[in-house]
Every structure is written in structure tokens, then in C-alpha cells.
């Protein structure tokens, strides 16, 4: 029990993680994490990986205390007696590479991602990345929003020819209403009042230019 098997297809990249506990925590394992993983090699010389937790019955380790260990057997798929070889011991952050995994010409990278011996039980998280699988694919970029077109403002309605030079008209656009303007005034008063002159006020509703003032008398 508590043995996993890693045997991915080599047709495409793949990535997986596994959490291991040590052999001494075999019965202190409420989440039923594996103690050992068999890594199929494509032949009879498979790999076996585990967490060498130095506690309990395993506290007197001579090598690789609290590290991830990778062992390869020399034949029989690990099902019968055979010579075995220690291929790697991994501390947190270290990686072991199996080249030409299962004859694919591609690499299998085994990385000790996390080792925590303060937890109960202590554990190791290991990742297996075949053929440089893209672990974190890029986030799709949001589609840019198109600006909302501004509403079209209709040009003001002109009333050229109404004898009123509007603020939107001038002597070019409407000469009928805005040609040179002549203002004439007169008075029927005589004597002293007429001598005082004629007072009037001109209120401009748009910019204008006064080019001349002429005065004359008529009797």
C-alpha cells in the first residue's frame, strides 16, 4: 500500500506533483500520501522515489536525512531481487534529470519543491515535469475596449435673408444680412435740446469691427 506509479505518455508534455511522507509515518498519514513512487522507465530498470524522513524507526539514517531519494533497480522492474543504485538525493529546490526518458529523446525533471519536517507528519512535495511542460501558461490579454464615438453635433440652422445678422453669420456667409451696416438717426427737436446731441446705445451680440463713423445734417 501507499505506493504510486508514474507512467505518463510521452506523446505530449506533462506536469504533476506528489506529496510524500516518510516510511516511519506510514501509519501517521491521515491524507494517505504515498511513501514510495515507482517511476516507469520503459524497460525493466525502473526508478523508485521516496522521502527519507529521519524520524521514528528511520531516525538512524547514515545518509540523506530528510531528503528526497531516487533509486534505480538493475532489472526485474523492482518486482524481484536485483541490484539497486542510489541515483540522487534532493534537498529542497534541487532537481534530478532523467535524460531520454522512456526512449523519447526528452527529459524528465524531478524537483523537490518543498520539504517540511516541522509538520506532523513531515512531508515532501515533489514535481515531475516531462518535456518542459508549461506549468504557468500566460494569462490571455483582455480585448481592448473600443472608444465610444462622440455624438455628431448638427451645425446650427442658418437663417440668411431674414434681415438679421446672426452670431453664426458674417459678411462672407451671409452678405444679405451682414453687409456694411449704416445706422441713421435724427431728431425733430430744435433749439437747445437739439444742440445737446443725440444719444444712443449699440449692443453687439457678436464680435464686430467699426470701420468708420460719418455724420451729416439735413435741413
Identify the residue with better confidence: 185 or 16.
16
Q: What is the per-residue pLDDT across 4-27, written as a single tens digit (0 to 9) for each?
A: 999 999 999 999 999 999 999 989
- What is the spatial order of strands in the sheet that 95-98 belongs to? 14-20, 123-130, 108-116, 95-98
- Most confident among 68-77, 157-166, 206-215 (mean pLDDT): 68-77
Confidence of residue 172 (pLDDT cuts 50, 70, 90): confident
pLDDT digits (tens, 9 = 90+) for 125-139: 999 999 998 876 556
Q: What is the pLDDT of residue 165?
A: 74
Burial 139-176 (b: 16+ CB within 10 A, else e): eeeeeeeeeeeeeeeeeeeeeeeeeebbeebeeeebee
Amino acid at each position: 500500500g501507499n505506493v504510486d506509479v508514474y507512467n505518463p505518455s510521452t506523446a505530449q508534455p506533462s506536469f504533476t506533483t506528489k506529496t510524500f511522507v516518510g516510511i516511519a509515518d506510514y501509519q501517521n498519514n491521515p491524507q494517505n500520501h504515498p511513501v514510495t513512487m515507482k517511476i516507469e522507465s520503459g524497460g525493466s530498470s525502473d526508478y523508485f522515489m521516496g522521502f527519507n524522513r529521519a524520524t521514528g524507526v528511520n531516525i538512524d539514517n547514515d545518509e540523506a536525512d530528510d531528503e528526497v531519494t531516487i533509486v534505480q533497480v538493475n532489472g526485474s522492474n523492482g518486482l524481484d531481487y536485483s541490484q539497486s543504485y542510489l541515483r540522487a538525493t534532493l534537498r529542497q529546490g534541487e532537481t534530478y534529470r532523467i535524460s531520454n526518458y522512456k526512449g523519447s529523446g526528452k527529459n524528465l525533471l524531478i524537483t523537490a519543491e518543498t520539504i517540511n519536517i516541522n509538520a506532523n507528519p513531515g512531508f515532501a512535495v515533489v514535481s515531475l515535469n516531462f518535456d518542459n511542460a508549461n506549468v504557468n501558461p500566460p494569462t490571455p490579454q483582455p480585448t481592448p475596449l473600443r472608444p465610444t464615438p462622440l455624438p455628431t453635433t448638427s451645425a446650427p440652422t442658418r437663417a440668411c435673408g431674414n434681415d438679421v445678422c446672426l452670431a453664426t453669420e458674417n459678411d462672407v456667409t451671409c452678405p444679405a444680412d451682414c453687409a456694411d451696416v449704416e445706422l441713421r438717426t435724427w431728431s425733430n427737436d430744435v433749439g437747445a435740446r437739439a444742440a445737446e446731441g443725440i444719444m444712443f446705445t449699440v449692443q453687439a451680440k457678436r464680435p464686430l469691427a467699426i470701420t468708420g463713423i460719418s455724420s451729416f445734417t439735413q435741413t
